[in-house]
Amino acid sequence: MRKRTLGGKLDVSAIGLGCMSLSGAYGGGLSIDDAAALLRGAFDRGVTFFDTAELYGPFLNERQVGKGLGPVRDEVVIATKFGFRIDADGKQGEGFDSRPAHIREVVDASLGRLGIDHIDLLYQHRVDPDVPIEDVAGTVGDLIAEGKVRCLGLSEADAATIRRAHAVHPVTALQSEYSLWTRDVEAEILPTLRELGIGFVPFSPLGRGFLTGGVKPGSLREDDWRTRLARFGGEAAAQNYRLVEALQALGARKGYTSAQLALAWVLHQGEDLVPIPGTRQLARLEENIAAADIVLDAADLAAIEAAVPQSEVVGGRYA
């Protein structure tokens, strides 16, 4: 696996692994032992960047990651997140909580569940409108000075918030959704990151699985939270799937899957991007990893974008 560097600080595999689905976000989920086996399989195939959060499960995902990566902890980069209201029983409350005292509580709890002595990349999961971002960045900066955290990250923050946080403590990476069918960050966010030297971690680079072609209209389980998203239902899903079929046809002509083309397209948007597709299947993992070796020229990129034009995607990202 080729390497990339986030924010000049974190050397990671060119493709990471988003671990959210391991604990059942898309219905089902894996046992701790099965998740650990998948995580070790990813490491054995060159993946060194793993993304989790206290929210996933909640709490279960961090335990899965901790067990799977414990034996190779010094050879991997682990990212986790704080910022939501979650009680001790794992019940999510309304709104956000990035109060400095709460950040410290979450970090200590996450370190325990992960079984590690420091978090490599700590994200604010979502911006808290009730807590100044300067207080958030300052608190994480203190945790970095104490050795509990290595790097500060933000998720789904706007350009102004990124600048304010970065002025207090250097931001190493921003995580936001980015794929062929979600390109909002291109206008303002990516230029801001590049001006400041901040890395970018696209989550859902396969459109929450839709761009793989494996999520056909009407095929989702009832307990899959994607059923609540506009893009995955009704006529919107049917229209969007026609775009996926065009991408599949293009991939077939080149000897790649639609997922591989979609990932390769993201990787070609800059060396400062490290996408984190998620999967619960080793075969899918291997398929995704292979995308890191695909070389696309300008004509290839144009053909991919023509197959999935942003203007023809139906439905918003969230309900």
Q: Could you tell me the domains of the chain?
A: 3-208+269-294 (3.20.20.100)
Q: For 23-38, what is each residue's pLDDT tens digit?
A: 988 888 999 999 999 9
Active-site residue flag, 56: yes
Q: For 238-283, what is each residue's pLDDT tens digit?
A: 999 999 999 999 999 999 999 999 999 999 999 999 999 999 999 9
What pLDDT score does 225 carry?
Answer: 87
Mean residue pLDDT across the chain: 97
Out of 39-48, 87-96, 197-206, pick the least confident: 87-96
What pLDDT score does 276 carry?
Answer: 98
Over range 178-196, report the average pLDDT: 98
What pLDDT score does 293 carry?
Answer: 97
Over range 291-317, report the average pLDDT: 97
Over range 96-111, report the average pLDDT: 98
What pLDDT score does 94 carry?
Answer: 92
Which residue is listed with tokens 């050879």? 75
What pLDDT score does 222 carry?
Answer: 87
What pLDDT score does 319 carry?
Answer: 72
Residue tagged active-site, from 56, 123, 178, 256: 56
Q: Which residue has the higher pLDDT, 302 or 228?
A: 302
SS3 per residue for the chain? CCEEEECCCEEEECCCEECHHHHCCCCCCCCHHHHHHHHHHHHHCCCCEEECCCCCCCCHHHHHHHHHHHHHHHHCEEEEEECEEECCCCCEEEEECCCHHHHHHHHHHHHHHHCCCCEEEEEECCCCCCCCHHHHHHHHHHHHHCCCEEEEEEECCCHHHHHHHHHHCCEEEEEEECECCECHHHCCHHHHHHHHCCEEEEECCCCCCHHHCCCCCCCCCCCCHHHHCHHHCHHHHHHHHHHHHHHHHHHHHHCCCHHHHHHHHHHCCCCCECCCCECCCHHHHHHHHHHHHCCCCHHHHHHHHHHCCHHHCCCCCCC
Amino acid residing at 158: D
Q: For 55-83, what is each residue's pLDDT tens digit?
A: 999 999 999 999 999 999 999 999 999 99
**Please, which pLDDT band fits residue 318 given cuts at 50, 70 and 90?**
confident
Over range 143-148, report the average pLDDT: 98
Out of 65-79, 187-201, 218-232, pick the least confident: 218-232
What pLDDT score does 27 carry?
Answer: 85
